[in-house]
Structures are given as structure tokens and as C-alpha cells.
Amino acid sequence: MARTVLVTGGGTGIGRAIARQFAALGDDVVVTGRRAGPIRALAEETGARALVCDHTDPAAVEHLVGLLPGTVDVLVNNAGGNTDFDADGAGGLAAYARDFRANLDANLVSAALTTKALEERLVASGSVIQIGSIAAGQGAGSYGAAKAGLIAWNLDLAKGLGRRGVTANVVAPGYVATTEFFRDRLTGERQDALVAATSTGRAGTPEDIAGAVLFLASTAARHVTGQVLQVNGGAYTPL
Ligand code: NDP
């Protein structure tokens, strides 16, 4: 039976690959993003439903939830990115606070708001999947802190939802090329270093991450919850 799947930030990159893979299975997919263009393009391609939403804004999230069906099977909290790429680093402590909070909002609060708003509507045997990052174990300032926070928050979420048969997990990608994540800020040298850190000798693809997400949402993964699934080609292995 077709599942209802919400993929936040589903118009580009990793979210787009996730949405495409669920749509290919025949699921009813809803994709969100702040820009209408990318999500509409994906909707035309896959038949997914496109809804504009800024997941850092509680009112926008409440509005979104009002447009969704009564029940949701799979929630993928993928929207996010390193907002420091858009910050100039100038302006003293007030600017530092603003920029730090921007990363927490974009990557942690966005997922928490969306999940809170949808929690009661998740079906038994449903799944919540957060897109974390290798940065949670490696630093990267407020971005890494936000992605590390996702892991701690997800633990309580998994405990709270477990008795209902709903799982909650984090998929933590390593370096994934071909998304909008890095803008034009990644030098060739840095790209080479990120690839060299892997055991596989290549960058990750959005499809690599989507495969892990689809597994966690599948019937095969009903006893997997509260976990972090690293998808990084062996670049980082927490003990
Ligand atoms: P992209 O920038 O291509 O995708 C991010 C998507 O999220 C965009 O479609 C963007 O659309 C949307 N988005 C961002 N903020 C919001 C918001 N507040 N509300 C709604 N939508 C939002 O990059 P990736 O595909 O690489 O990133 C996807 C996820 O993967 C992110 O959480 C990122 O942190 C994580 N990640 C990526 C890695 C990589 O190497 N690429 C590595 C590790 C983790 P719009 O601007 O229209 O809102």
C-alpha cells in the first residue's frame, strides 16, 4: 500500500534523491522547501506534491501540517545546511549569536518543530528519519553542534515513539558532491582531501543517502531505532 512520505527540503540534492526513490516505489510523496521552483520541478517529474514551507518558522510548519493528509507514514527531516556559508563573520558578539542560532534553527529546531507538529499523525510502524552529518563527530562549529544535537534529541524521540511502533533514526552523510550544500565554496584541494579520507575513494552521492533512508523506513528496519547510520565511505567511524 502506498505510504504518505514527507521529505523536507526535497527540491534539491539529497532530499530530491530521497523523494525520487520513494516516488519510484509508488508512495505518495510531499516535498517542501522555501523556494517554489525546485520543488515544483520535482513535482512535475515525479508526481510528488510540492508545498512551500520554511521549517524554522512554527507558523509555516503549522500551516503545512494543515495541508497534509490525516496520517503520515514517513517523515524525513532533511532540510538544512551550513548557514555559516551565508554569514560574513563580521559584527561582534551579537552577529556571532545570530549566526550561531541560524545554524541551530536550520538544522535542529526545524526538525524538532516539524516532528512535534506531526507526531500525533504518524501511523503505527511509521518512521522518522533525520539527516544528520559527519560533522556531528568532527566539529564544524555551530553546524556540527546542531547536527550533534539532532542525535541527542532523536534518542528521546525514539523512546517516546517506540511503543507505538514508530522508529526514529539519524542518517549521517559524509561528503556528498552534486548538491547545493557547498555552493561554490569548496576548493578542488578540499574536495580531494574529503575523497582521500574515504575508504571507497569517492564522494558520496545523494542516492547513497537515499538508500539508507529507504532502508530505515522499510519493514526490514522495524527494530532499528534511536540509531545513527553513518554513510560516509568509511571516512569516520565512531566507536
Ligand atoms: P542542498 O542545499 O541541495 O539541500 C538542502 C535543501 O533544504 C534545499 O532544497 C533547501 O531548499 C532546503 N532547505 C534549507 N533550509 C530550509 C528551511 N528552513 N525550510 C525548508 N527547506 C529548507 O544540500 P544537501 O542536499 O547536501 O543537504 C541536505 C541535507 O544533508 C542537509 O541537512 C545537510 O546539512 C545534510 N548534509 C549534506 C552533506 C553534503 O556533503 N552535501 C553532508 C552531510 C550532511 P530552499 O533553499 O528552497 O529552502
As given in the structure block, the three cell numbers for residue 75 are 517523515
Instruction: Check residues 80 and 185 and name the one with the higher pLDDT.
Output: 80
pLDDT in tens, 81-105: 999 998 887 889 999 999 999 999 9
DSSP-derived letter for residue 126 is: E
Pocket test for ligand 1, best of 35, 54, 65, 181 (most atoms within 8 A of CB): 181
Residues tagged active-site: 143
In this structure, the residue with its CA closest to atom 10 of ligand 1 is 9
Question: 79-113 as b/e, with b when 16 or more CB fall inside 10 Å?
Answer: bbbbbbeebeeeeeeeeeeebbebbbbbbbbbbbb
Q: In percent, how much of the chain has pLDDT > 70? A: 100
The H or E element spanning position 208 is helix 206-216
pLDDT of the residue at 182:
93
- Range 50-62 average pLDDT: 98
pLDDT in tens, 129-174: 999 999 999 989 999 999 999 999 999 999 999 999 999 999 999 9
Amino acid found at 217: A
Q: Which fold has domain 4-231?
A: Rossmann fold (3.40.50)
Distance 181 CA to ligand 1 centre (A): 6
CB of 179 sitting under 6 A from ligand 1: yes
Give yes or no for residue 108 having a pLDDT over 80: yes
Q: What are phi and psi of 235, to 5 degrees?
A: -70, -20
Tell me 2's DSSP state. Answer: P
Between 124 and 90, the higher pLDDT residue: 124
Cβ of residue 15 lying under 6 Å from some atom of ligand 1: yes
- Closest Cα partner for 30 from 45, 49, 12? 49
Residue spans per domain, the chain: 4-231
